[in-house]
Amino acid sequence: MTERVISVVRKLVGSPSVRVAALFAAFGVGFAGGNLLLARALTQEEYGLVSLWLALYYLGGALAPWGADGVVNRRYVRPNRLLLRRVLFSSLVTAAVLTGGAAIAYPFTPGLLGLLFLAIVAGGLAVVAAAQFQARQRFITAMMVWQGSNLLLVLAAILSLALGGWGGGSLPVAVVTLGTATLATAGWLRLRRVAAEEAGAGAAADPLNDDTVSWWRESLSYFLGASTNDLLPQVERLVIPRVLSLVDLATFGVLAALVIAPYRMLQSGIGFTLFPRMSQAETRRDRRRLLVEEVRLMLVGAVVALVAVWYLAPLVTRVFLADKYELMPSLVLAGIATGVVKMLSSLGRALIFALGTPRDLAVYGAASWVALAGAGAGAWYGARWGVEGVIYGTAAAVLLQALAALGLSVRHFTGNRPTGDSNRA
C-alpha cells in the first residue's frame, strides 16, 4: 500500500500538468492577493473600475493575436520578423477597437484608455511569444511571459496600499502596462535566440508562415472558434457595470479573487499542458491515458478548492477587508459552481483544439458563439437577482459549450487504431 502511494505521488510530481498547475497556483495567488490588496487600498468605485480595466486588458491580450497563438501551438512556425509584424498589426487593430468601445460604454478617463491601448498591444505580443515556448513544451518560460502580469499586480497593489491609494486606479494599471510590455519584449528577444538555435540544428520547413493567404486563413479560422473562449470568462465583468453598478463589480472582483481564482488556476494549468501533449499523442490509447490523468487531477483539485474556499473566503473577507465587502454563502456557492463549469469548459476546449477536424472546429465554433450569446442574455436577465443571478446566467451557457466540446471529442478516444493525421485539422 505504501509503495502504491509513493508511486502515485511520484507520478503526480513528475506530471507536467502538476508542475504547471503549481506554478499557475503561484501566479493565481499573486492575482488573488493583488486584487485583495487593491480592494483594501482603493474605494469600492475605484476598485470596480480597476477590475473592469483588468478584464478588458486580459480580454484584449487574448484576442489581439487573431488566432496566431493557436496556429503556433498546432504546427511549427518560425518566430521571425514576419510573424512579429503580423501579430503587431492585429494587436494594434484590436487595441484600437476595444479602447474605442470602452470609451463609449464605460466611465474611463483618457489616461486609463491610453494605458489600456498600450497594455492590449503588449499583451497580444506576449501571448504569441508564450505560445511559441508552449509549443516547444518549455512550459515554465511560457508561463513567465504569459502570466507574469499577475505578479505585477501584486507589486502595483503594494504600491497603492503603501501610498494610501494615491493616484486611484491609475497607478496599478500603469504598473501592469509597463510590466506587460517588459515581459513581451523579453519573450521575443529570447525567441530570437531560440530561432537561431533551431536554424543551426536544421529546423523543419515552415511553408505556412511564408504563405500569407494560408496563414490568415488558418489563423482567422482558429480565432473565430477560440475567441468566444476568451470572451466568456469576462462576461460577468463586462455586464455587471452596465446592469448593476461599479460597487457590485467590486464585490464580484473580491469573489473572483477568493473563490473563482483557484478553479481558474486549475483549468489554466490543465488546458495549458494538455493541448500540446494531446496533439502529439500517437495512439488513441495514449490519448485515453492522458485524459484519465487530467480528469483525475481535475477532480482532486476541485474538491480541495471547494473545501478551502468555502471556509476561508468569508474569513479572509471579514478579517483582511474589515467587512468592507460581504460574501454571503449563496454568493460563495455561485462562485464555486461557475468555477467547476469553467474547468469542464477548459478541458473540452483543449481536447477539441488538439484533436478536432475542421468540421469539429466549425461545429464547436458555432456552439461557442451560441453559448456566448446565451451567456450575455443570461447575465442580463439574471441581473434582477443581483450578482448571483449574473453568475448563474453565465455559467449555464458555459456548461452547454463544455458539453458540446466533450461530445465532439468522444470519437477521438474510441478504438485502438493509430491516430495519424486524418483526424486533425
Mind listing the pLDDT tens digit for each residue in 12-45?
A: 445 555 666 667 677 777 788 888 889 988 999 9
* pLDDT over 70 (residue 415): no
* Whole-number Å distance between alpha carbons of 171 and 154: 12
Residue with cell 455559467: 395
pLDDT of residue 240: 95
What number of residues does the chain have? 425
User: Which pLDDT band, with edges at 50, 70 and 90, does 423 fall under?
Assistant: very low
Give the pLDDT confidence score for residue 175 in this predicted structure: 92
Q: What confidence tens digit (pLDDT) does each residue in 283-301 have?
A: 777 778 878 877 887 888 8
The rounded distance, in Å, linking the Cα atoms of 414 and 425 is 18
Summarised one tens digit per residue, pLDDT across range 303-333 is 888 898 898 888 888 888 877 888 899 999 9
258 close to 312: Cβ distance less than 8 angstroms: yes
Question: Tell me: the pLDDT tens digits for 344-390?
Answer: 888 888 888 778 777 887 788 888 889 999 999 999 999 999 999 99
Under 8 Å between Cβ of 121 and 163: no
Q: Which of 288, 383, 265 is nearest to 26 (CA)?
A: 265
What would the pLDDT profile of 173-216 be if each residue is shown by its tens digit?
999 999 999 999 999 999 988 878 877 665 665 666 667 777 88
Q: For 138, phi and psi rounded to 5 degrees?
A: -95, 70
Spatial neighbors of 14 by CB under 8 A, at least 6 apart, are none
Neighbour-count burial for 371-380, b at 16+ CB within 10 Å, e otherwise: bbebbbebbb
Phi, psi at 232, each rounded to 5°: -55, -45
pLDDT score recorded for residue 273: 67
Between the alpha carbon of residue 379 and those of residues 32, 46, 250, 256, 345, the distances in Å are 23, 23, 17, 16, 18
Q: Percent of the chain, pLDDT > 70? A: 86
Distances (CA, A) of 237 to 50, 58, 263, 380: 11, 11, 17, 12
For position 5, what pLDDT does the model report? 42
User: According to the model, what pLDDT value does residue 130 have?
Assistant: 92
Which residue's C-alpha cell is 449563496? 330
